[in-house]
Structure 1
Amino acid sequence: MNTLRVALVNDYEVVARGVMGMLRSYQNRVRVVELDLNKQVGESVDIALYDTFAATQEERVAVRELVVNPLVDLAVVYSWNLDQAHVDAALANGAGGYISKGLSASRLVAALEEIYTGGERIHLGGNGTPTVVVGDWPGREEGLTEREAEILALITQGLSNAEIAERTHLSINSIKTYIRTCYRSIGANSRTNAVLWGIEHGFRPDRVRIAHPEPSLGGGEVRARA
């Protein structure tokens, strides 16, 4: 099959670039042509891969926007949330596929190809499949896990614990646990301290479209803000 043209959609450049880094060894099969950070996809692509990390809008809204974008052939959700009801809801909202963030790079590429060619739409791994820690996220260098970083990003955006629980489909108790471990990692003793830390360390969402992010794709990186 031809090389898939993919746009990576997320609110944080470091997260989108982390996924792009995963795919770098597979450019003969998957080519990342655009990073969209709080921007609509602006170039014709086979797949818009929507990473749900700390999304600034509800997932169903984001998926619908991608589905109705005439430049996007298929919208695929990329998430840690593997609850079947949640997966079914994403597909009902028009997503062409659903992929676990626990898959290795090679399995992610294979899943994208299978979804695009009309094969299995849901790729969650399986029993005994180890969680693969890949990609990047804000705060990783400070020892934050991706889940802790996601919770801190949502706190930095001003969401309450109840709103975070609804957005991430985690229990309130789980949210409180992640907040406690996050606070220990960054040395915060209050929500205000955590927000200030988040602002200083890249936890505010980006808002930019980056076309041809790989130098080999266009002679250099081009940033487009339209």
Structure 2
Amino acid sequence: MTQRTRPLRLAIVDDYAVVVAGVAGLLAEEHIDVVETGASQSVLSDVDVVLYDTFAQVQGRGIDLEDFVRDSGAKVVIYSWNLHLAMVDQAIAAGARGYLSKVLTGPEIIAALERVMAGEIVVVTGDDESSAGGAGDWPGREVGMSSREAEVVALITQGLTNQEIAKRAYLSINTVKTYIRSAYRKIGVTSRSQAVIWGLNNGFEPETLRSIDPALVVRPPD
């Protein structure tokens, strides 16, 4: 594989600012330019890769994966804790050029993205929920929530039922209920309405902010 002579240009997409910040922080020391970050809306910048973080994403709300693939000349790569085979297959079938686990280190992510840029479809999974990125990886981590518990609470905050959460996250209904019980203990609530109020007050409401680095808007000449 030919070594790139200039930084990879990247857009990071997710509805949660703390998630975007965690990903950007993880990649801060790598050979990469984070040109644009923000919520699930069309990417405006001229980038090489759209890194699409699936945390608490709901199909049919806002911009979906198929929209990014259609609307951007960049290669779209999924970045997720959810490594269920059906979800991976669905993403690749929809046009994603890669599917990467969030347990990967910064250098591992960059190596995978370079393979994507070279024309490969790259799937790199893992089974450890520990995070390389630190406390900003997902909302609720500061109160001890796992990534899966946080995602379930985020989906509850968006109004999804247990059955809808199970379908979206490829979990059994009993597993969803287990995550709900453990998350409720950690945040000190006993009902769904209390959980929604807690979520709205603690960073679990999707945002619509976009940030574009003005110093990186123009792609350097070859």
Aligned to 2:165: 164
Aligned to 2:81: 80
Which among 42, 57, 75 is matched to residue 55 of structure 1? 57
Q: CA deviation at 1:120?
A: 5.0
Secondary structure at 2:56 match in 1: coil
Secondary structure at 1:150 match in 2: helix
Where do 5+ consecutive residues of structure 2 fail to align?
A: 217-222
Asked if 1:34 is matched to 2:32, the reply is no
User: Identity of aligned pairs, percent?
Assistant: 47
Aligned to 2:206: 205
- What are the Cα deviations for residues 118-139 of structure 1, in whole angstroms up to 9, with x where unaligned? 23511124xxx75541331111
Q: CA deviation at 1:157?
A: 0.5
CA contact (8 A) 1:100 1:124 kept: yes
Asked if 1:8 is matched to 2:45, the reply is no
Greater helix proportion: 1
How many angstroms apart in 1 are the aligned matches of 2:58 and 2:83? Answer: 20
How many angstroms apart in 2 are the aligned matches of 1:205 and 1:130? Answer: 26
Residue correspondence of structure 1 range 75-224 to structure 2 within 5 A = 75-119=76-120, 121-125=122-126, 130-135=128-133, 136-212=137-213, 218=215
Q: Please provide the CA RMSD for this pair.
A: 1.9
- Report the TM-score, using the length of structure 1 for normalisation: 0.86
How many angstroms apart in 2 are the aligned matches of 1:154 and 1:162? Answer: 11
How many angstroms apart in 1 are the aligned matches of 2:200 and 2:84? Answer: 31
